[in-house]
Amino acid sequence: MASTNDVVIKIATVNGTGSASANGLLRKAIFRMGVPVVGKNYFPSNIQGLPTWYEIRVTGDGYSCRSDRVDIMVAMNAQTYAKDLADVEPGGCLIYDSTWPRSSLLNRDDITIIGIPLSKMCNEHFDGVRARILMKNIAYVGVIAALLDLDLDIIKGLLEETFAAKQHLIASNMEAIHLGYDHASKHFPCPLPTRVEKMDATKGHIVIDGNTAAGLGCMYAGATVGAWYPITPSTSLMDAFRTFCGRYRVDPETGKRTYCIIQAEDELAAIGMVLGASWMGARSFTPTSGPGISLMSEFIGFAYYAEIPTVIFDVQRTGPSTGMPTRTQQCDLLSCAYASHGDTKHVLVFPADPEECFYMSVQSFDLAERLQTPVMVLTDLDIGMNDWMVPELEWDDSYIPDRGKVYGAEDLEKMERFYRYLDVDGDGIPYRTLPGVHPKGAYFTRGSGHTKLGAYTENSADYKEVVDRLLVKWETARTMLPEAEIRHSKFNKAAILTMGSCDGACKEALDRLEKQKIGLNYCRVKGFPFTDAVREFIDQHEVVYVVEQNRDAQLRTLLINDIEADQRKLVPLLHYDGMPINAGFVVDGVLKEIAKGRAA
């Protein structure tokens, strides 16, 4: 491992020991050196005491997915030590706290073992149990700084920003950094052949998680009502919305709020609340995860049929049932696409990273109101809770929300009578009114059979007329969804088709395959129903590897169902162990298929 800016550091700690800020410091320091980074959390469904890992991938090439190796392991957790040791790539190194002797059985000749008396040093230099634990974390950052030749001034600068209001903490944290840094420099050959060298590749970028970006998007979109029931991994989305609203949505004079966040009693209620709010004319949203979607389903079907907009974020986690709540998957496609009984289908969007979480959440409010239907934003734990380097977010100050077809008081005043479900424009989208605006706008919202005029019905023809019109709307939706990202070369007969957080792994895989002279085209769908370009893309290829993170090839099923894609062409590459997908998986999958005689 003698390279620059291509190294993977994994820190193994115990949940609840406050390592997050140390890990963040390390990740930021590398980013500030101008070198792209990826930060992944692997944490247990537990508050304190179980193993947790943070992985920092330093990637001069700017890849965004999880790596498939570990070069430097910081083994701070005795419980997982043996496994952590085994995970290190030959030629890599392992750092451990040598305050306590290690069993000689736990050794490896093919890696460098670096023992640093972290606890001992911190106990000597700091008072208080909590401070000693926290400083021990900061000290391992110092060790890595020495090994990788990180810029101490940048680290100091970061500490100064963090502790601007608590000067004494800057000094003590720097002291801890030096304890680690100096000890490593003195006793081990530093820096390692693998090191971090300054680049200029992070300018104009930020490192942010998807939930924060989506919460920010909701605030910028003008959402005023959010209802939710806490569930990992979606919780931090509402936390972010709350934080941003606390800053920008409180009248400084009166202290009054221009937003309303309701912690619902369950997801049955959360979805009811946002539908009530949207019906009343507020932009509303609810963040949840798979179990929440299951509970919301009846109301999602109601909203489809009664044509009420709202935005639902499903930050997917590993199912079925409670599954592995702190692991990632893309396993709710089908349950979201067809949520609820009866003939229903729903508009989905698939952001690939936090940048798209921001823009697509805004877009989802526009789509929901334009189409008068719930729009579901499907992200996952990997996007939602991990740290992604993305271009800085921009806001177009000329943006005007698309509130869709809403008759106001003046329109109604001029009308003889208003009918809620008439397809006036032929695009399958009727006009709606908001309560409290005008007496002529009143209508009765119901989930029972209704005619195009909005009246209750049990008449077959009248019923069919409305549900058939909803199919017209579905086709209109198809033309409005974000277009797929497509890379096409006429020389390639095979392609990868994927969505969401598989993007990084697939793109890196394409590069690796290219190096082996295997050229593949690429299509990343961004929404459901699928656009015509997706249909054409599949038609143009002999083999399409459908890469997704679930067991049952749900994306593939949707392609077959929605656009009658030829299923013989669609070769599933399924990653569903709960860890974020990586490039190696995709490369191996494609190579295996080629070895079986599948065209490349």
- Using CB under 8 A as the binding rule, the residues of this chain from 198 to 237 that contact other proteins are 205-208, 216, 219-222, 224-225, 227
- Measure the CA–CA gap between 238 and 215, rounded to whole angstroms: 6
- Does 296 help bind other proteins (rule: CB under 8 A)? no
Structure tokens at 45: 């469904």
Cβ proximity to other proteins, 140 vs 285, nearer residue: 285
Residues 327-346 binding other proteins (CB under 8 A) are none
Per-residue x/- mask for other proteins, residues 134 to 173, rule CB under 8 A? ----------------------------------------
Cβ proximity to other proteins, 100 vs 395, nearer residue: 395
Min CB(339)–other proteins separation in Å: 13
- Does 276 help bind other proteins (rule: CB under 8 A)? yes
What is the Rg, in whole angstroms, of the alpha carbon atoms belonging to the chain? Answer: 27
- Does 246 help bind other proteins (rule: CB under 8 A)? no
Q: Is-cis flag, bond preceding 189, omega within 30?
A: no
Cβ proximity to other proteins, 100 vs 456, nearer residue: 456
- Measure the CA–CA gap between 421 and 211, rounded to whole angstroms: 35
Min CB(397)–other proteins separation in Å: 5
Question: Which residue bears the tokens 């890599």?
Answer: 92
* Cα separation values, 189 from 194, 334, 439, Å: 12, 54, 81
- Does 256 help bind other proteins (rule: CB under 8 A)? yes
Q: Sheet harboring 543-548: ordered strands across? A: 485-487, 521-525, 494-499, 543-548, 570-574
Which neighbouring-strand residues pair with 16? none
- Measure the CA–CA gap between 579 and 561, rounded to whole angstroms: 28
Per-residue x/- mask for other proteins, residues 410 to 439, rule CB under 8 A? ------------------------xxxxxx
- List the one residue from 163, 443, 463, 474 that touches other proteins (CB under 8 A): 443
Cβ proximity to other proteins, 111 vs 270, nearer residue: 270
- List the one residue from 79, 82, 171, 395 that touches other proteins (CB under 8 A): 395
Min CB(172)–other proteins separation in Å: 22
Pairing type for strands 347-349 and 527-528 reads: antiparallel
Cβ proximity to other proteins, 53 vs 259, nearer residue: 259
- Measure the CA–CA gap between 144 and 409, rounded to whole angstroms: 65
- Measure the CA–CA gap between 600 and 590, rounded to whole angstroms: 8
- List the one residue from 10, 27, 32, 136 that touches other proteins (CB under 8 A): 32
Min CB(105)–other proteins separation in Å: 44
Cβ proximity to other proteins, 100 vs 399, nearer residue: 399
- Measure the CA–CA gap between 436 and 442, rounded to whole angstroms: 8
Cβ proximity to other proteins, 43 vs 259, nearer residue: 259
Per-residue x/- mask for other proteins, residues 532 to 571, rule CB under 8 A? ----------------------------------------
Min CB(370)–other proteins separation in Å: 15
Q: What torsion, rounded to 10 degrees, do the Cα atoms 600, 586, 346, 412 define? A: -90
Min CB(428)–other proteins separation in Å: 23
Residues 297-316 binding other proteins (CB under 8 A) are 298-299, 302
The overall longest dimension of the chain from CA atoms, in Å, is 89
Residue 578: CB atoms within 10 A of its CB come to: 17
CA 226 to chain centre: 19
- List the one residue from 69, 102, 249, 551 that touches other proteins (CB under 8 A): 249
- Does 447 help bind other proteins (rule: CB under 8 A)? yes
- Measure the CA–CA gap between 385 and 492, rounded to whole angstroms: 36
Q: How many CA atoms lie less than 13 Å away from 169 in the CB half-sphere?
A: 14
* CB-based contact 248:423 (threshold 8 Å): no
CA 597 to chain centre: 35
Cβ proximity to other proteins, 192 vs 300, nearer residue: 300
Run of H or E including 272: helix 267-279
Min CB(266)–other proteins separation in Å: 6
Min CB(358)–other proteins separation in Å: 9
- List the one residue from 46, 107, 322, 448 that touches other proteins (CB under 8 A): 448
* CB-based contact 37:31 (threshold 8 Å): yes
- Measure the CA–CA gap between 419 and 453, rounded to whole angstroms: 5
Kindly give the residue spans of alpha helices, DSSP state H, lying in 516-582. Answer: 532-539, 554-563
Taking alpha carbons only, the member of 123, 77, 126, 86 closest to residue 108 is 86
Count of residues interacting with other proteins (CB under 8 A): 73
Cβ proximity to other proteins, 33 vs 122, nearer residue: 33
Taking alpha carbons only, the member of 479, 276, 466, 290 closest to residue 367 is 479
Min CB(384)–other proteins separation in Å: 15
Cβ proximity to other proteins, 109 vs 396, nearer residue: 396
Cβ proximity to other proteins, 91 vs 246, nearer residue: 246
Min CB(281)–other proteins separation in Å: 4
* Cα separation values, 180 from 100, 142, 185, Å: 16, 4, 8
Residues 354-393 binding other proteins (CB under 8 A) are 392-393
Cβ proximity to other proteins, 294 vs 476, nearer residue: 294
- List the one residue from 20, 50, 106, 262 that touches other proteins (CB under 8 A): 262
Which residue type is seen at 480?
M
In SS3 terms, 78-111 reads as HHHHHHHHHHEEEEEEEEEECCCCCCCCCCCCCC
Min CB(466)–other proteins separation in Å: 16
- List the one residue from 269, 293, 470, 497 that touches other proteins (CB under 8 A): 269
- List the one residue from 111, 134, 270, 506 that touches other proteins (CB under 8 A): 270
Local structure of residue 531 (DSSP, 8 states): P
